Homo-oligomer: A and B are copies of this chain.
Amino acid sequence: MSDKVLMKGAEALAEGAIQAGCRYYFGYPITPQNETPEYMSRRLPEVGGRFVQAESEVASINMVYGAACAGVRVMTSSSSPGISLMQEGISYISGSNVPCVVMNAMRGGPGLGNIAPAQADYFQAVKGGGNGDYKRIVFAPSSIQEGVDLFVDAFELADKYRMVVMVIVDGLIGQMMEPVEFKTRIDVSTLKTPEWATVGRHGRDHANIITSLTLDAAGLEQWNLKLQAKYAQVELTESRIEEYQMDDADYAIIAYGTMARIAKTTIRIARAKGIKLGLLRPITVWPFPAKQIQTYVGKLKGTLTVELAYRQLFEDVQLALCGKIPLGWYGRGGGVVPGPQEILAAFEEQFGKGR
């Protein structure tokens, strides 16, 4: 047990980012993830990095944009309203083909809402958000340990594909404490400055220019086609899912993050009652693991999508299964997190006793 430490999620995720080679953090306080910037403000100077408290989330994401252009591992984090303010910046970063990581500790909405756990920024993260056609890889860890581990992948994939990677959690993961182990440590001295980075020419035979502007429509379309080709590649290779007790399952709950975790308890209770329930847990919500879920067509009698939102994840499930399996839905809003029993009740209401 000696390698495990008991940490708050928001701090553990920050340390996870540092272990993944992140040395620059720009952010603005917002509950429920204040411990992330606070931790960064203590730790980054210790590891030769820099923490900057920006004047706003708009400034944060644009500072991230600048640092990303310099080819370093950089991140910001915030919660729902703050992430809304970053949408223009995220669109610019995506349109400029530079990498960064953005964490959203989602809270109750819309508007100011409250600081309780929610998953209602799903659409924003995977569909809309900023302007134009762009995608970000979106990881949705369901435990602190998984979040810490995924941060390594987040930075690796951001660099590999030169794109924004989002990590979406909720206040519950951010605020809770669990033992966590830091398994991978990226040695930042091995990270090379990419050749496209704007770090000064220093003898390079040409100037590097990073922009999301292409005035000519044909040129911008070509640029978009490049981005689309990249996204298609990512869709093909990077979607991930956890399949829990699916071997003999008659029914599956489809849920991610905190809800998936609570659903595991539901499944335990259901199985004790003789209902063969399993869990399909998207680890990436974009790319959505549609292929993996589709393998259950013909095997399942039904799925229940469970989310802390109103039919957002559900749309992706609909797109994936398109009426080929009966689709149930159960969602809560405003920061209310249903317990395992409530989920079971919803299941039984929609699918009877599961026979």
Q: Which B residues are CB-close (under 8 A) to A318? A: 319, 322
How many A residues have CB within 8 A of the partner chain?
A: 71
The reply to whether A109 and B91 form a contact with Cβ atoms under 8 Å apart is yes
> Per a CB cutoff under 8 Å, which of B88, B110, B116, B213 touches A130?
B110
Known: A112-B213, A113-B214, A322-B322. A335 touches B220 (CB 8 A): yes
Task: Tell which of A14-22, A118-126, A246-254 binds the partner.
Answer: A118-126
Q: Is A222 part of the binding interface, using a Cβ–Cβ cutoff of 8 Å? A: yes
Complex Cα–Cα for A121 and B133 (A): 8
Q: Which of A58, A131, A322, A336 has the most CB of B within 10 A?
A: A131
Residues B310 and A228 in contact, CB atoms below 8 Å apart: yes
B114 near A213 with CB under 8 A, answer yes
Residue ID in chain B nearest A310 by CB atoms: B133
Is A303 close to B, CB under 8 A?
Answer: no
Name the B residues within 8 Å of A84 (CB-CB): 87-88, 91, 129-131
For chain A residues 114-168, which have a beta carbon within 8 Å of chain B? 114-116, 118, 120-121, 123-134
Q: Which residue on B lies nearest to A92, using beta carbons?
A: B111
- Which A residues form the contact surface with B (CB < 8 A)? 58, 80-81, 83-85, 87-88, 91-96, 106-116, 118, 120-121, 123-134, 211-225, 227-228, 309-310, 312, 315, 318-319, 322-323, 332-337
Other than the given A95-B113, A110-B131, 13 more pairs (CB < 8 A) read: A81-B88, A84-B129, A84-B130, A85-B88, A93-B111, A106-B131, A114-B220, A120-B131, A124-B130, A127-B127, A217-B334, A221-B333, A228-B333
